[in-house]
Amino acid sequence: MFNENLLCSLAWNEETIAPFTLWHYHTRDTDVVEPGYFDEAAGILHVGDFIICNMSIAEATPLNGILVVVGDADGKVEVRGCSVEGHRRPPDLPRMSRGEWTKVTVFLAACAVVAMVIAGLLIGLRMKGIV
């Protein structure tokens, strides 16, 4: 069910600058593109307005979309989705223990020492004209 308190303008219609208003709306609903959903906002939503919409915000996989108002006649507001994408939360990655981190740190430090030794050898060989 539409809630006017959850609709806010981000950039509004200035006749000389932009012929539309950019809105943000968030809701637990997923039926925002259904006919009649935005009818209560008929006085403020106009053809060409864009709505950044976060839907089913209480779910593990919320939907995010950009809607455009395509009709606003006779107290009816019609919107269409330009894009609606699901947002998946990243999986929990396995954590490394302190001992595993210590092994990784020692390995990286050893690699750095080996790289410096090789670089020193190459510089020395180059100075002697061998390389």
Give 75-97 pLDDT, tens digit per residue.
Answer: 999 998 876 555 544 445 455 56
The C-alpha atoms of residue 108 and residue 31 are separated, in whole angstroms, by 52
The pLDDT assigned to 77 comes to: 93
pLDDT, averaged across the chain:
79
Q: Is the CATH number of domain 4-86 2.40.240?
A: yes
Do residues 26 and 52 touch, judged by C-beta distance below 8 A?
Answer: no
Q: Domain locations in the chain?
A: 4-86, 96-131
Closest to 25 measured CA to CA, from 1, 43, 48, 47: 1
Strand partners, 8: 24
Do residues 27 and 20 touch, judged by C-beta distance below 8 A?
Answer: no
Cα angle: 119, vertex 101, 112; to 5 degrees: 5
The C-alpha atoms of residue 116 and residue 122 are separated, in whole angstroms, by 10
What share of the chain in percent tops pLDDT 70?
A: 76
Mean per-residue pLDDT, 2-25? 80
Among 17-21, 47-51, 58-62, 84-88, name the most confident range: 47-51
Strand partners, 50: 22, 68
